Chain A
Amino acid sequence: MILLDFTLRQGTFSLEIHERLTARVTALFGPSGAGKTTILDAIAGLRRPDTGSIAIDSWVLIDRSTGVDLPPHRRHVGYVAQDVALFPHMTVRQNVLYGRREGQKLALETVASMLEIPDLLDRRVPQLSGGERQRVAVARALMSAPQVLLFDEPLAAVDVERRRRIWPYLERVRDDLGVPIVYVTHDPVEVERLADQVVQIENGRVTDRPFTFLR
Chain B
Amino acid sequence: MDLWQITWFTVATATFATLLMVPPGLLLAWALARGRFRGRLLLDTLVSLPLVMPPVATGMVLLALFAPFGPIGRILARAGVQTVFTWKAVVLAMTVMGLPLFVRTVRAGFEQVDRRFEAAAATLGAAPLRVFLTVTLPLARPAVIAGAVLGFARAIGEFGATIMIAGSIPGSTRTLAVAIYSLAETGRTREAAGFVVVSVAIAFGALWWSNRLVWATEERR
- A residues whose Cβ falls under 8 Å from a Cβ of B: 44-46, 71-79, 81, 83, 85-89, 98-99, 101, 126, 140-141, 144
Contact = CB atoms under 8 A, between A and B. Distances in A.
Contact of B138 (A45, A73, A89, A141): A89
B152 to A, nearest CB: 24
B123 A126 contact: no
19 contacts: A44-B119, A71-B122, A72-B119, A73-B122, A75-B123, A76-B125, A79-B123, A85-B116, A87-B120, A87-B121, A88-B117, A88-B221, A98-B121, A98-B124, A98-B134, A99-B123, A99-B124, A126-B221, A140-B124
A46 B221 CA distance: 27
Given A79-B123, A86-B120, A144-B125, 14 more contacts: A71-B122, A72-B122, A73-B124, A73-B125, A73-B126, A75-B123, A76-B125, A78-B123, A83-B116, A85-B114, A87-B120, A88-B139, A126-B221, A144-B124
A86 B120 CA distance: 8
3 tightest A-B CB contacts, nearest first: A99-B124, A72-B122, A85-B120
Contacts of B117: 85, 87-88
Interface in B100-121: 114, 116-117, 119-121
A99 B125 contact: yes
Given A88-B139, A89-B138, A77 B221 contact: no
A46 B123 contact: yes
A80 B124 CA distance: 10
Contacts of A99: 123-126
Which has the most chain B C-beta neighbours within 10 Å: A72, A77, A87?
A72
Interface string B115-153: 011011111111110010011001100000000000000
Could you say which interface size class chain B belongs to? Answer: 10 to 19
A46 B125 contact: no
Contacts of A81: 116, 119-120
B203 to A, nearest CB: 30
A86 B119 CA distance: 11
Contacts of A76: 125
Contacts of B131: 73
B86 to A, nearest CB: 42
Nearest to B126: A73
A58 B125 CA distance: 20
A101 B134 CA distance: 16
Contacts of B116: 81, 83, 85
Contacts of B121: 87, 98
Contacts of A98: 121, 124, 126, 134
B109 to A, nearest CB: 13
A98 B117 CA distance: 12
B123 A72 contact: yes
B145 to A, nearest CB: 14
B218 to A, nearest CB: 12
A87 B114 CA distance: 10
Contacts of A78: 123
Contacts of B123: 44-46, 72-73, 75, 77-79, 99, 144
B24 to A, nearest CB: 25
B217 to A, nearest CB: 9
Contacts of A141: 124
B85 to A, nearest CB: 46
A79 B116 CA distance: 12
B36 to A, nearest CB: 13
A199 B126 CA distance: 31
A79 B121 CA distance: 10
Contact of B125 (A85, A87, A101, A126): A101
B34 to A, nearest CB: 14
A52 B124 CA distance: 25
Interface in B67-84: none
A74 B122 CA distance: 8
